[in-house]
Amino acid sequence: MKKIAFIFSLWISVMGSLVHAQNTTVTSGTNLVQFSGVVLDQDSLTPIPFVSILIKGTNRGTVTNYYGFFSLVVNPGDELQFFSINHKNRVYKIADTLKQKYYYALQVLTKDTIELKAVDVYPWPSREDFRRAFLALDLKDTDFERAERNMNKETLTYLERTQGNDAAANYKVAMQNYYTKVYTSGQSPSIKLLDPIAWANFIDAWRKGKYSKKKN
């Protein structure tokens, strides 16, 4: 009989704890709020993606998506902590008097400037290597002699004939041809007698012998 009474009392205590837990869950669940919002940058007012949001004092939270949107379930009175690499951390206090089930807000973060220490980059790994390279310098030529070599007529002529246009010049030529094509659409194309680029291409092709007769 003692053993049956002990088992019965144990069963009553377990059931009482389960009922109390269920009542506590229901009571706390009735006060939950679906909190949603967007995190924006203070300067540009653009959404900030991948911002970590944590409910203070808990291990629950979420992360904003690519458009800065977030949504999570909170209790009235909770504090939300916002963490971003490029911005200062912020804390948002949810009012403990909220009665609605859905709440929306905009959170603005301020950019944080991080000043890194100066890094000196040397072309030599050690002072001994710098010393050897410094003693091996050939300073026989003067600046005038080096300038004369760089301005040599043969070198400049070779560069003039072999060096092509850069990206900006090629883009300009392509855009001019496109505008000319659009401007003369539906009519005879214009003659490029006054086009310096066309003349330069003609002279260059003539120098290279593209217009000479081929021998049989």
Q: Confirm whether pTM is higher than 0.85.
A: no
Domain membership of residue 170 as a residue range = 127-207
Domain end position, chosen among 62, 79, 109: 109
pLDDT tens digits, 153-185: 888 888 878 877 788 888 888 888 887 777 777
Residue with the two structure tokens 């009012």: 95
**Taking the CB of residue 52, how many other CB atoms lie within 10 A of it?**
15
Average pLDDT score over residue span 96-119: 86
pLDDT band at 8 (very low <50, low <70, confident <90, very high): very low
CATH code where residue 39 lies: 2.60.40.1120
CA distances from 131 to 120, 121, 125, 135, 141 (A): 18, 16, 11, 6, 21
What total number of domains does the chain contain?
2
Residues 165 and 194 in one domain: yes
Same domain membership, residue 132 and residue 75: no
Instruction: Let me know if residue 165 belongs to a domain.
Output: yes
**CA distance linking residue 94 with residue 202, whole number of Å:** 76
* Confidence (pLDDT) at 216: 52
The residue from 109, 144, 176 where one domain ends is 109
What's phi and psi for 59, nearest 5 deg?
-110, 25
Are residue 132 and residue 93 in the same domain, yes or no?
Answer: no
